[in-house]
Amino acid sequence: AQRVTQPEKLLSVFKGAPVELKCNYSYSGSPELFWYVQYSRQRLQLLLRHISRESIKGFTADLNKGETSFHLKKPFAQEEDSAMYYCALSGLQGAQKLVFGQGTRLTINP
């Protein structure tokens, strides 16, 4: 079974401080992992996916298969990063379903 765990419901950091949003997963096959973000009054949208190995808005995430983690990191938080962040997982082999974690609400304090 697929499972995604985000242990922190709320995370608050000061502007300029480093940010790490934790995500752990459980999946027996090869996973495809994503981070989705929902800014205030906006639609849920993709932030990044591990297969692209890219940095979006200064955020990066590395898939660690040994620790089954996909933590989202940014070295210097900005106020506009305040949002709800969801980690999500899908199987690579013909899967059609995306499983989401519980979400972490990130607040960046000025």
Partner 1 sequence: NAGVTQTPKFRILKIGQSMTLQCAQDMNHNYMYWYRQDPGMGLKLIYYSVGAGITDKGEVPNGYNVSRSTTEDFPLRLELAAPSQTSVYFCASSDQPSGANVLTFGAGSRLTVL
Residues interacting with partner 1, by CB under 8 A? Answer: 4, 6, 9, 32, 34, 36, 43-46, 49, 86, 90-103
Nearer to partner 1, 14 or 30 (CB): 30
Q: How far is the CB of 66 from partner 1 (least distance, A)?
A: 21
Sign of CA dihedral 43, 17, 10, 30: positive
Nearer to partner 1, 13 or 84 (CB): 84
Neighbours of 94 (CB within 10 A): 5
- The amino acid sitting at 62 is D
Q: How far is the CB of 76 from partner 1 (least distance, A)?
A: 26
